[in-house]
């Protein structure tokens, strides 16, 4: 088997006016699809056999131990596939999503950061100050505590031994220019602020519950 480009869980224009439909279409069908194609090429090669049968999430955890001949390709393209699949899953159409956390997630955010506003400020700073291309994350560490981090390129917190702060992501934001440049040009902070209007906190809560019990985010990825 090989990985396939997952369909978006909503229409390309569903996140308007915050993320425009043209960006979503190009981002999904061109950028994300390229990562899928490239990681499948690695898996089909002579050194990709050890990864066959692993889930996409499991592959992230294996990056640090891969041979040099495929490590960079899997890190970039396998990471790109995972990150984008996750990214689509945490967003939804305004009016049909939970726009604020509740329950255990709300309590954990408040105990860790003081308030939702403070968490968002720290997250926004991580996203805005990520030099060049990369991601901002809200994750759960091995002790079950929330933390905010950012990673370069297509790295993610599942890549233990690669990233400075490993953990299980429950929320992530793409700050590569292709994610926002058509609408926001160089105004990354404006994109970040607008993006919060698309975040579905019900999904984040499910991810948090899974992460606390040692599980992974609640989105499906085919096995390789």
Question: Which amino acids are annotated as binding site for Mn(2+), given as ranges?
Answer: 27, 84, 174, 178
Rounded-to-integer distance, Cα 140 and Cα 15, Å: 27
CB atoms within 10 A of CB 71: 17
Lookup result for tokens 């699949």: 85
Helices 188-195/116-128 angle, 10° precision: 150
Tokens representing residue 79 in the block: 């990471």
The DSSP H or E segment spanning 149 is: strand 146-152
Q: Which residues are part of a known binding site?
A: 27, 84, 174, 178
Structure tokens at 131: 């030099």
The secondary structure of residue 179, as a DSSP letter, is G
Which distant-in-sequence residues (6+ apart) come within 8 Å of 29 by Cβ?
5
Q: Can you give 39-70 as a three-state secondary structure string? A: HHHHHHCCCCHHHCCCCHHHHHHHHHHCCHHH
């Amino acid at each position: 088997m090989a990985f396939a480009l997952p369909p978006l869980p909503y229409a390309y224009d569903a996140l308007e006016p915050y993320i425009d439909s043209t960006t979503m279409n190009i981002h999904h069908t061109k950028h994300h699809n390229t990562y899928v194609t490239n990681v499948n090429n690695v898996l089909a090669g002579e050194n990709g056999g050890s990864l066959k049968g692993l889930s996409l999430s499991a592959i992230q955890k294996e990056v640090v131990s891969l041979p040099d001949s495929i490590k960079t390709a899997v890190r970039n393209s396998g990471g790109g596939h995972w990150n984008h699949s996750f990214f689509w899953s945490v967003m939804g159409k305004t009016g049909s999503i939970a726009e604020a956390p509740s329950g255990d997630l709300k309590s954990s955010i408040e105990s860790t950061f003081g308030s939702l506003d403070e968490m968002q400020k720290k997250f926004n700073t991580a996203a805005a100050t990520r030099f060049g291309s990369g991601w901002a994350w809200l994750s759960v560490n091995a002790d079950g505590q929330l933390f905010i981090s950012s990673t370069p390129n297509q790295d993610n917190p599942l890549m233990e031994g690669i990233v400075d702060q490993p953990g299980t992501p429950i929320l992530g934001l793409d700050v590569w220019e292709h994610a926002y440049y058509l609408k926001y040009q160089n105004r990354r902070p404006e994109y970040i602020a607008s993006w919060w209007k698309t975040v579905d906190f019900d999904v984040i809560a499910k991810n948090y519950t899974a992460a606390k019990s040692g599980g992974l985010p609640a989105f499906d990825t085919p096995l390789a």
